[in-house]
Amino acid sequence: MPRVVVHVMPKPEILDPQGKAVAAALPRLGFEGIASVRQGKRFELELEGPADEAAIARLREAAETLLSNPVIEDVVDIEVLGEGA
Amino acid sequence: MPRVVVHVMPKPEILDPQGKAVAAALPRLGFEGIASVRQGKRFELELEGPADEAAIARLREAAETLLSNPVIEDVVDIEVLGEGA
């Protein structure tokens, strides 16, 4: 079955408390040299049918309404990984 | 500054309740044809220095200890996006 990855990130103008917490924790744990961190989401979906244009268009709609909150998040990428196992 | 993306997913043998919830919600909202969903995390980091081999090795260690929980999650990819704005 074709696998698709949907990448969702907080919009640039939105404060990202999870990312800020990670960025603050890194130097405390000995990892220096990281200027900023933003945390988003990655969804891996398996499609029942082929990953054709119509399926990806429907998936984009689902990604923009259900997988992300369009007020605070952007769907930054939809990546078709091809046929899975 | 170079930007790096760290991709984290729940291990295949781990039940993923967030992904299951999304997969169950999709058909209720009219999106059919999606067999399974797994939800992971995507981190975008900005490095202060160059994204050389040593920096990426340190970052991989941080990703495997702080950005992911190694008991239940895998770092599936570390992607160097090159120089940001």
Reported in sequence order, the residue ranges of A1-85 that DSSP labels E, i.e. its strands, are 2-10, 34-47, 73-83
Find the range with the poorest average confidence among A19-28, B31-40, B75-84. Answer: B75-84
User: Between the CA of residue A43 and those of A11, A24, A31, B8, B50, what are the distances in Å?
Assistant: 17, 26, 27, 10, 29
Nearest of A38, A51, A42 to residue A3 by alpha carbon: A51
Q: Is B25 exposed, middle or buried (0-12, 13-18, 19+ CB in 10 A)?
A: middle
Q: Are strands A34-47 and B2-10 parallel, antiparallel or unpaired?
A: unpaired
User: Between the CA of residue B1 and those of A29, A77, B51, B83, what are the distances in Å?
Assistant: 22, 21, 9, 5
Q: Are strands A73-83 and A2-10 parallel, antiparallel or unpaired?
A: antiparallel
Question: Which residue among B9, B43, B44 places its CB closest to the CB of A44?
Answer: B9
ipTM of the complex as predicted: 0.91
- The CA distance from B19 to the nearest CA of chain A, in Å, is 8
CATH code, domain with B24: 3.30.1280.10
pLDDT tens-place string over residues B37-81: 999 999 999 999 999 999 999 999 999 999 999 999 999 999 999
User: Given CB atoms, is B83 within the 8 Å cutoff of chain A?
Assistant: no
Residue A71: domain span: 2-83
Q: Which residue has the tokens 């495997």?
A: B64
* Residues across chain A: 85
Contact A40 B44 (CB under 8 A): yes
Residue type, A83: E
Q: Which residue has the tokens 């797994």?
A: B38
Band the pLDDT of A73: cuts 50, 70, 90. Answer: very high
Dihedral sign from CA coordinates of B76, A14, A6, B23: positive
- The CA distance from B25 to the nearest CA of chain A, in Å, is 8
Percentage of residues in chain B with pLDDT exceeding 70? 96
Domain count, chain A: 1
Contacts of A62 in chain B (CB under 8 A): 26, 29, 31, 34
Q: What pLDDT, on the 0 to 100 scale, is given for residue B85?
A: 44
